[in-house]
Amino acid sequence: AAGVIQSPRHLIKEKRETATLKCYPIPRHDTVYWYQQGPGQDPQFLISFYEKMQSDKGSIPDRFSAQQFSDYHSELNMSSLELGDSALYFCASSFLASGVRGDTQYFGPGTRLTVL
């Protein structure tokens, strides 16, 4: 079965540069979530989109922005990168419109961002 696809899998950037992470949800899924997991830490929710509209916002820095496109893929744009942004960034998708069982979030493999 198709899973959540994230690209790139690894990314190395310098401080103050920008980065764009992409997420392709499971086909037919209508909701995308972004999480950040720092080294040795639990994941922290950043932002989510349902049907291309922002549905919830967590601890996402103002330097970051995200959107969901008409084909339901999502991009997380990160500017003025800082050393502390080095982390594993996960994208998850779910099919909320399917009802209660659609609430399960399926996670992609993550993008490992290293800021030097």
Partner 1 sequence: KQEVTQIPAALSVPEGENLVLNCSFTDSAIYNLQWFRQDPGKGLTSLLLIQSSQREQTSGRLNASLDKSSGRSTLYIAASQPGDSATYLCAVRPDSNYQLIWGAGTKLIIKP
Q: Which is nearer to partner 1, 11 or 96 (CB)?
A: 96
Q: Which is nearer to partner 1, 61 or 109 (CB)?
A: 109
Structure letter (DSSP) for residue 83:
G
Among 24, 64, 72, 90, binds partner 1 (CB under 8 A): 90
The reply to whether omega before 8 is within 30° of 0 (cis) is: yes
Q: Which range touches partner 1 (CB under 8 A), out of 15-23, 35-43, 62-70, 73-81?
A: 35-43
- Asked if 68 interacts with partner 1 (CB under 8 A), we say no
The string of DSSP codes covering 21-52 is EEEEPPTT--EEEEEEE-TTS--EEEEEEETT
Chain residues that interact with partner 1, rule: CB under 8 A? 31, 33, 35, 41-45, 48, 50, 55-56, 58, 88, 90, 92, 96, 100, 103-110, 112
